[in-house]
């Protein structure tokens, strides 16, 4: 290893080896005597970290490259904190080691590729954990709407399940689309901004009240913006009241201009609203609701998606959803 390193140093313009020690305890006195520009040392646990600190304190102008076998993330972080300018693996190729030397000579902090990969992995895991936090925020927001719009009962969870099953049936590639599912759960989050006198009114809304009610998709888009979710979430929240014939709101989109996730969701949402009691009316039976949904294909709903929904209901989707909700109750 030493011979290999000497060859690498020899390949750097104007570089030469000025000293060599047998063990870490000799490093500081030897470095103090020879004043090297670059110090190369073994990194193997707490004792070497202390040597690293001592070297950095004694010769702050020297750049230190640590060579390690398979250091933990903590050891790498501690070495950087203790003053290491570069960290390389003993298994790195001569090219990578050469780059580490060059980097140290030029004052760059260098982690070789073999080391960077597990550290990147570590940060990806942290980002994934943040995703879980997002899920917790989303559940909390949805629960807040549920609590305010008490008449809907478990509408949000139920419709989330129904819409997810329908989405997977329409396009299996949507099965693991978290952003779309977040959109399903958060579709009515904008109702947080609608007065309870309107939200919980026990008689049909008048025109002015409807105008206020129709603002909830746009309020919802503003509420979820800081969550930084992917496009499908915003598409469902914004467009879940658009209609196939262009008569919906807020943007009066029609047909395939309405994003797929919103076209899927609106069928499941309307069906669930029809079959459950509202303050101003009794819910329809499943058969009655399916008939209504079928009649509204091509006016309110994408006909292909409507057909898929009716097929899924006859295949037992409602029972499966009820069982899934029971299991999480």
Active-site residue numbers? 191
Cis preceding linkage at 45, omega within 30: no
| CA–CA gap between residue 181 and residue 232 (Å, rounded) | 8
Q: Could you write out the DSSP letters of every residue in 207-231?
A: HHHHHHHTTHHHHHHHHHGGGT--H
Instruction: Give the binding-site size for Fe ion (rule: CB under 5 A).
Output: 1
Nearest approach, Cβ of 277 to Fe ion (angstroms)? 17
Q: Which of residues 50-89 bind Fe ion (CB under 5 A)?
A: none
How deeply is 114 buried, as exposed, middle or buried, from its count of CB atoms within 10 A (0-12, 13-18, 19+)?
middle
Q: Which of residues 159-188 bind Fe ion (CB under 5 A)?
A: 188
Task: Kindly state the greatest CA–CA separation across the chain.
Answer: 93
Nearest approach, Cβ of 110 to Fe ion (angstroms)? 54
| CA–CA gap between residue 244 and residue 305 (Å, rounded) | 11
Helix or strand run (H / E) with residue 3? helix 2-10
Nearest approach, Cβ of 190 to Fe ion (angstroms)? 8
Of 18 and 205, nearer to Fe ion (C-beta) is 205
| CA–CA gap between residue 59 and residue 37 (Å, rounded) | 9
Of 63 and 187, nearer to Fe ion (C-beta) is 187
Of 105 and 238, nearer to Fe ion (C-beta) is 238
Nearest approach, Cβ of 187 to Fe ion (angstroms)? 6
Q: What is the DSSP letter of 64?
A: E
Nearest approach, Cβ of 137 to Fe ion (angstroms)? 20
- Check residue 242 for interaction with Fe ion (CB under 5 A): no
Nearest approach, Cβ of 191 to Fe ion (angstroms)? 7
Of 117 and 200, nearer to Fe ion (C-beta) is 200
Mark residues 188-227: x for contact with Fe ion by CB under 5 A, - for none: x---------------------------------------
Helix (H, G, I), strand (E, B) or coil at 168: helix
C-alpha distances out from residue 146 to 149, 156, 271, 273, 303, Å: 5, 7, 18, 14, 30
Of 110 and 276, nearer to Fe ion (C-beta) is 276
Of 188 and 242, nearer to Fe ion (C-beta) is 188
Q: What is the DSSP letter of 251?
A: S
Question: 303: which 2 tokens?
Answer: 């006909």
End-to-end, the C-alpha distance of the chain in Å comes to: 62
Question: 36: which 2 tokens?
Answer: 């090297």
83: CB partners within 8 A, 6+ apart = 52, 53, 55, 56, 57, 64
Site residues for Fe ion per CB under 5 A? 188
């Amino acid at each position: 290893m030493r011979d290999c390193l000497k060859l690498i140093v020899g390949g750097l313009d104007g570089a030469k080896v000025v000293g060599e020690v047998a063990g870490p305890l000799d490093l500081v006195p030897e470095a103090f005597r020879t004043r090297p520009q670059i110090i190369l040392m073994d990194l193997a646990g707490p004792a070497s970290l202390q040597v690293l600190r001592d070297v950095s304190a004694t010769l702050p102008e020297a750049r230190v490259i640590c060579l390690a076998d398979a250091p933990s993330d903590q050891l790498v972080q501690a070495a950087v904190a203790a003053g290491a300018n570069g960290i390389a693996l003993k298994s790195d190729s001569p090219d990578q080691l050469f780059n580490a030397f060059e980097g140290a000579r030029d004052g760059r902090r260098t982690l070789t590729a073999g080391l960077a990969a597990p550290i990147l992995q570590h940060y990806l895991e942290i980002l994934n954990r943040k995703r879980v936090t997002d899920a917790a925020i989303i559940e909390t927001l949805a629960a807040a709407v549920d609590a305010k719009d008490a008449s809907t009962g478990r509408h949000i969870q139920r419709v989330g399940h129904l819409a997810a099953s329908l989405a997977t049936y329409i396009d299996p590639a949507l099965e693991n689309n978290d952003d779309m599912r977040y959109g399903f759960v958060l579709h009515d989050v904008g109702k947080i901004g609608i007065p309870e006198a309107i939200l919980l009114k026990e008689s049909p809304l008048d025109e002015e009240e409807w105008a206020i009610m129709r603002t909830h998709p746009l309020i919802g888009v503003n509420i979820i913006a800081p969550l930084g979710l992917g496009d499908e979430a915003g598409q469902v929240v914004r467009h879940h009241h658009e209609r196939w014939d262009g008569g919906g709101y807020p943007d009066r989109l029609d047909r395939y201009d309405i994003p797929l996730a919103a076209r899927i969701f609106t069928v499941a949402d309307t069906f669930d609203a029809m079959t459950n009691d509202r303050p101003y009316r009794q819910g329809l039976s499943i058969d009655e609701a399916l008939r209504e949904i079928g009649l509204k294909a091509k006016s309110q709903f994408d006909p292909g998606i409507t057909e898929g929904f009716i097929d899924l209901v006859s295949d037992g989707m409602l029972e499966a959803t009820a069982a899934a909700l029971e299991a999480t109750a």
